[in-house]
């Protein structure tokens, strides 16, 4: 019987050791998975920032090119005259300015009368509500 008890003790010691190593192994795997997920989230945030910065760079380059063009045309009298007339909304002597008004069509009036029951109204309302919630939190 003593040998049977000794065998049971070794079995329980080996079983306990195996379970302990298994639990430690699972905890390590869990920690690594969580760390990997956090790294993935950070990578996504950085990629979004990069895209934002790229679009800002493009906008700055476009405005820079526009400014360079305007500086190069600063001595051009025709260009300056064109800018003056466009910015001051003036007409040259002998010119007549026409303003075209688009007539309201029947579909525009009926879509406006739907109002409260329009899906467009509800989608815009939900979108604005969601934006407000995101900005608050």
Indicate the range of 1-5, 10-14, 32-36, 77-81 predicted with least confidence. 1-5
Q: What is the pLDDT of residue 113?
A: 52
Please measure the distance between the N-terminal and C-terminal CA atoms of the chain and give it in whole angstroms.
Answer: 69
- How do residues 121-136 score in pLDDT, each as one tens digit? 777 888 888 888 878 7
- The answer to whether position 77 is within a domain reads yes
- How do residues 48-98 score in pLDDT, each as one tens digit? 999 999 999 999 999 999 999 888 887 888 887 777 777 777 777 777 777
Closest CA relative to residue 84, chosen from 66, 76, 98: 76
Q: What is the pLDDT of residue 86?
A: 77
Domain membership of residue 78 as a residue range: 2-103
- What does the DSSP 8-state code read for residue 75? T
Let me know: does 126 contact 120? Beta carbons within 8 Å: no
What's the total number of domains in the chain?
1
- The answer to whether position 122 is within a domain reads no
Geometric angle at alpha carbon 113, from 112 and 116, rounded to 5°: 90
């Amino acid at each position: 019987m003593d040998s049977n008890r000794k065998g049971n003790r070794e079995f329980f010691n080996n079983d306990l050791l195996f379970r302990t190593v298994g639990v430690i192994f699972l905890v390590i795997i869990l920690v690594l998975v969580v760390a990997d997920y956090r790294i993935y989230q950070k990578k996504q945030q950085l990629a979004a920032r990069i895209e934002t910065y790229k679009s800002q760079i493009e906008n700055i380059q476009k405005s820079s090119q526009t400014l360079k063009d305007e500086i190069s045309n600063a001595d051009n009298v025709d260009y300056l005259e064109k800018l003056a007339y466009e910015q001051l909304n003036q007409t040259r002597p002998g010119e007549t300015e026409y303003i075209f008004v688009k007539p309201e069509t029947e579909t525009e009036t009926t879509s406006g009368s739907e109002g409260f029951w329009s899906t467009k109204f509800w989608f815009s309302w939900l979108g604005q509500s969601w934006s407000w919630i995101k900005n608050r939190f």
